[in-house]
Chain A
């Protein structure tokens, strides 16, 4: 009977994650097309010139400051700070700064290193590489659509993009400038910058405006069009039957919508709250870390110190606790976006979950038990069929963004991530009945 055929082949939950959620930006091109050779710099990011060129193609300059029609204009305006209205000059200045490696102590790291346009606006690494190839302890969030988040960083310690942009520059593991003055000195001699700052903000270049400009630029990186959005608008053919079944699970048995609601009012799929879902919780001595953290923060309660502790030490595992110092926030991190997650692997605050299959498995087993586990986490008892994804990852990842942007070139999946995914499947984790097929991720 036909209905049983559907159940046997259903890609269900993981497929919907890839399909509708990774649907706005696709992975590499169609099967058979070789991925274009992307020039890389010493830290593995695409070169700045290549990224800038790609971005210019995606968002022609004339259109950068126009609000997206996919999001409510009144609510979007509320996300724009009063002292930083979006103007073309500010966006252009921010773009230059975003790609400028001179803002790092050894000239190797820019924002675009860890938030690489060709790697899903993140770096697809568990922990990011900073100056001197130091590895940080937190997974780089994608800048893509970050303009629609209520707080920045995994622990929400930054209230806005403008504020966030100033932190990594001063972090010793990331860009390593000792203080704002040193950062400004690195670019002060550039006459182009002096003029650009004057045109954008009407005053001498300063560190606050640097943050604002980068924030203004990031506010243009809003890509909401996707097959999923069309499906929500009523086009039932925009998602495959398997993906639609997965969407039912997403809102039902799999309980994803409890923290990742996806609807026209909230197209991103984050509740902007902080939850301890027990990622890598079995490795943590939360009580011990919390005591150390309270001491460390009492000694130096500056935001600079908080930033360094979060990125560079084990205290970062405490998450939101470092900001609020409340027991219920121990190990709690902000719910990330779901839109476009197909290209922002690996997942979670420490990048410990390599593929979406791992993510679903994590939730299916009820996270990792710890004293501070969020009350909404429980074992899901999803069946193999419901989590199976083998037939549908590749086609859905290759699904192109339809709409203003052809984003098929953005976020090529790192080979490592693809290999990890195939390895996980080949090891019998999941009901694979055929050997892995050799095809590009």
Chain B
């Protein structure tokens, strides 16, 4: 069976009994292959000046010794790590800058008060947070912000959205020494 997407251009041949999500996935894959420039990660990096992850290339120089099975890292390994890490932070950036992705009911996104994640000082956590009346981790404060200024729904602390936001905020603070408890 040949399915055609609604732009009339992309077609895909699939087994007859296929329908629903897998079929949509197939068409989406097709579209993505046809539009490799739709690279949201690059977009995020450029629009929001994402700070890149640390450089691990000195790991190439030895570990436990060249050709050793354990502790032997290749360029492709460190490229994969860097790429996945920056994608995770870029996903956080995407959510950080999008009122809709945050679930805001009043069209407020984090960057309106924290451009480029300024003034989030993740290195000061854990600390006593007056708004919460208890010692908080970064994600507790993110949740407070989501519920109060952003007027969205409480985020699952272990869910992908919270993890991505944390990742972005921490990424933008690269290089600053940890200093828990500092107000």
Contact = CB atoms under 8 A, between A and B. Distances in A.
A324 B80 contact: no
B55 interface: no
Interface residues of B, number: 31
Interface size band for A: 35 or more
Interface in B23-58: 25-26, 28-30, 32-34, 36, 39
A107 interface: no
A326 B69 CA distance: 11
A201 B13 CA distance: 33
Given A150-B76, A332-B69, A265 B84 contact: yes
A74 B69 contact: no
Given A230-B22, A400-B15, A73 B36 contact: yes
Q: Is the interface of B mostly helix, strand, loop or mixed?
A: helix
A66 interface: yes
Given A78-B75, A403-B25, A408-B15, A273 B83 contact: no
Nearest to A235: B21
B80 A374 contact: no
B79 interface: yes
A70 interface: yes
B39 to A, nearest CB: 7
A265 B74 contact: no
Interface string A248-286: 000000000000000011100000111100000000000
Given A63-B33, A70-B29, A406 B15 contact: yes
B72 interface: yes
Contact of A75 (B68, B70, B76): B76
A265 B80 contact: yes
B26 to A, nearest CB: 5
A406 B68 contact: no
B14 interface: yes
Contact of B83 (A75, A79, A272): A75
Contacts of A274: 69
Q: Is the interface of A mostly helix, strand, loop or mixed?
A: loop
Residue from the set A68, A79, A406 with the largest chain B CB neighbour count within 10 Å: A406
Residue from the set A69, A73, A225, A329 with the largest chain B CB neighbour count within 10 Å: A69
Given A63-B33, A70-B29, A402-B25, A75 B72 contact: no
A72 B80 CA distance: 9
Contacts of A326: 67-68
A73 B76 contact: no
B12 interface: yes
B18 interface: yes
A359 interface: no
A328 interface: yes
Contact of B33 (A67, A72, A79): A67
A439 interface: no
A291 interface: no
B71 to A, nearest CB: 10
10 contacts: A68-B33, A69-B29, A72-B84, A73-B39, A75-B79, A265-B80, A328-B68, A403-B25, A404-B30, A406-B14
Given A63-B33, A66-B34, A66-B36, 19 more contacts: A69-B28, A69-B29, A72-B83, A72-B87, A73-B39, A75-B76, A75-B79, A75-B80, A230-B25, A265-B80, A266-B80, A272-B74, A273-B72, A326-B67, A328-B68, A332-B69, A404-B12, A406-B15, A408-B15
